[in-house]
Amino acid sequence: MSLVTYLLQQVVNGLTLGSIYALTAIGLSIVYGILRLINFAHGDVLMVGAYVALGLLGASGGNLWGALLGAAAAAGLLGVVIERVAYRPIRRAPEVAALITSLAVSILLQNAAIMIFTAHPRTFPVPAWLTQLHAVGGVLFNTLTLITVVTAAVLMVGIHLFVARAKAGIAMQACAQNLVVAEMMGIDSGRIIMLAFAVGSALAAVAGAMLGAQYGRIDPFIGFLPGLKAFVAAVIGGIGSVPGAVLGGYALGFAEILFVGLLPPELSGYRDAFVFFLLILVLVARPQGLLATGGEREA
Amino acid sequence: MLSVEGLDVFYGGVQALRGVSLSVGAGELVAVIGANGAGKTTLLRAISGVVQLRRGRIELDGRSLRGLAPHQITRLGVAHAPEGRQIFPRLTVLDNLRLGAYARGDGQVREDLDRVFSYFPVLAARRRQVAGTLSGGEQQMLAIGRALMSRPRLLLLDEPSLGLAPLLVRTIFTVIERIRADGRAILLVEQNARMALSIADRAYVMETGRVVLTGSAAELAASPEVKVAYLGG
């Protein structure tokens, strides 16, 4: 394998991993943008999405799109319920209270998953057509990878257009820029916050299903690291911004793959440490992130 | 149209309003003047539902606004151009204005945009510009224009002259008079007492959370206390 082919192969791998991080980071970022809440339970919503997708794949005899749609819908609903039950009652409390609550929700979801599915990993049944290998110029990838990258890209363009153009999307931006004044405009901020949780959780579920399919198995803890890394991605990109979350997600995916792919194999066990080292570097050099959303919100 | 009686508002343990009562009739321009910290902004924030009342009554055409969320109060016909403009800095001028009409679904937004642009032609020229890049005066115009987009029956204006050059203040006050002439009631909070009294029908003077004086704008402008305290002798 030539060096060029090898590098292109790493680009494919980076895109795949980056797609999953970027999809997850969007939900964290839009919720943070409005509520200044770091939602630690976001990764666990991803995990629930993966289990729902697994169940639907089995029940439907391998209908991938049905499983993705069902997982997105279930996770979207879960996100709305979490917001309503856990976060809304403490909306006016200090931000640290919400942070701790999100940790509690995270633990709760993990333990609920252990109770329902046990802590043992389950095989994620990937339909055979998804594992078919393709080779383009010596670069290998399977149908699943192609679908992961393209579906993620389509979803991200869609959500970006929604936030930038749709009435509810612009209202979401208004809430992020000034929640009190957005209310004065007649915007029911409670509904916009609900929408942010629904959309973000649905995207995380799609990421979870893809993650499960890529690795071939899932357990109740698979959301933890992707959730944390999506947070790193959102911060790197500039938290609060959808394009920032996408950029940060891809950047992190590529960096992680390059670290594993280019450095000696004995170092690849440090990939997670490397990701957090990267976070520290960005926070030191450019604390507002790559795509800053501008000044802090007033009031 | 608006009737406020016996408002008490606290921020934590600090009392910001002490038994404030006031009224605004249909089509009337009423000014509230007073020093910084007198409670003027808190009064407007209480009317638009942003801060909660400890005691008192706020009614719009006989309907109580107490306990309603800000977005519900906006839908009843009260619009608020807040202190310090507080436009949405990373949205365009046009998106800011459209958000002002967010609660309306009557499809006449176009007409209202045209009216706002006729009040403030500079906003039409800058409609695609990101609002954070506007000058202070233009941002104030945008804040007032945005509030008008909801077709309010009552417009709350908080310190529209704040930080603006005298010429711009005059421009904005001329438009405020036009808005009133077009039939909207206005409750205007101002530190610039001279300008406020020059266009208002009636006025209230606030000090440390209380209304201490009230009367027609002409009476207040002529009163020795107001002259000494707010009009520079």
Average pLDDT over residues B104-112: 84
CA distance B26 to chain A (A): 21
Cα torsion at A252, A256, A257, A262 (round to 10°)? 130
Residues in A closer than 8 angstroms to B98, CB to CB, are: 167, 170
Q: What does pTM read for this prediction?
A: 0.91
Beta B202-207 vs B210-216: how paired, if at all?
Answer: antiparallel
What pLDDT is attached to residue B103?
Answer: 87
For residue B229, pLDDT over 90 is answered with no
- Interface mutation vs chain B, best among A181, A192, A242, most B CBs within 10 Å: A181
For residue B233, pLDDT over 90 is answered with no
In this prediction, what percent of chain A has a pLDDT beyond 70?
Answer: 97
Other C-beta atoms closer than 10 Å to the C-beta of B58 total: 22
Question: Which of A 165-204 lie inside 8 A of B, CB atoms?
Answer: 167, 170-171, 173-174, 177-178, 180-189
Please provide the distance, in angstroms rounded to a whole number, between the alpha carbons at the two ends of chain A: 57
d(CA B169, CA B191): 12
What pLDDT is attached to residue A298?
Answer: 37
- Interface mutation vs chain B, best among A34, A172, A183, A185, most B CBs within 10 Å: A185
Residues in B closer than 8 angstroms to A293, CB to CB, are: 90
Closest Cβ–Cβ partner in B82, B89, B150 for A186: B150
Residues in A closer than 8 angstroms to B69, CB to CB, are: 183, 188
Q: Whole-number mean pLDDT of chain B? A: 95
Q: Answer for the pair A50, A179: CB distance below 8 angstroms, yes or no.
A: no
For residue B105, pLDDT over 80 is answered with no
Residues in B closer than 8 angstroms to A171, CB to CB, are: 99, 102
Long-range contacts of B220-229 (CB under 8 A, 24+ apart): B220/B33, B221/B194, B221/B197, B226/B33, B226/B193, B226/B197, B229/B35
Is the ipTM, as predicted for this complex, more than 0.90? yes
Count contacts between A and B (CB, < 8 Å): 70
Residue with tokens 């959303």: A293
Beta B55-60 vs B63-64: how paired, if at all?
Answer: antiparallel
User: Do A185 and B71 count as a contact with CB atoms less than 8 A apart?
Assistant: yes
User: Do A184 and B71 count as a contact with CB atoms less than 8 A apart?
Assistant: yes
A34-38, A268-272, B29-33, B130-134: the lowest-pLDDT one: A268-272
CA distance A74 to chain B (A): 30
What pLDDT is attached to residue A293?
Answer: 60
User: Do A177 and B98 count as a contact with CB atoms less than 8 A apart?
Assistant: no
Question: Which of A 50-79 lie inside 8 A of B, CB atoms?
Answer: none
- Strand ranges (DSSP E) for A131-221? 133-136, 139-142, 217-218
What pLDDT is attached to residue A299?
Answer: 35
Average pLDDT over residues B1-14: 95
Average pLDDT over residues B103-131: 93
Average pLDDT over residues B63-91: 96
Other C-beta atoms closer than 10 Å to the C-beta of B120 total: 22
The residues with which A198 forms a beta bridge, in sequence order, are none
Q: How far is CA B220 from CA A90, B36, B177, B193, B204, in A?
A: 46, 19, 19, 10, 9
Closest Cβ–Cβ partner in B74, B82, B86 for A186: B74
- Interface mutation vs chain A, best among B73, B86, B94, B157, most A CBs within 10 Å: B86
Closest by CA position to A209, among listed A29, A77, A19, A39: A19
Q: Residue A21: which H helix or E strand, with range?
A: helix A3-35
What pLDDT is attached to residue A277?
Answer: 87
Residues in B closer than 8 angstroms to A189, CB to CB, are: 71
Closest by CA position to B78, among listed B91, B88, B94, B64: B64
What pLDDT is attached to residue A297?
Answer: 45
User: Do B82 and A181 count as a contact with CB atoms less than 8 A apart?
Assistant: yes
Closest Cβ–Cβ partner in A170, A174, A184 for B74: A184
* Spans in chain A with pLDDT lower than 70: 1, 292-299
Average pLDDT over residues B208-221: 95
The residues with which B92 forms a beta bridge, in sequence order, are B130
d(CA B100, CA B150): 6
User: Do B89 and A295 count as a contact with CB atoms less than 8 A apart?
Assistant: yes
Helices B109-119 and B93-100: crossing angle in degrees, nearest 10, is 120
Most confident of the ranges A238-242, B103-107, B198-202 = B198-202
Closest-approach residue (CA) in chain A for B98: A167
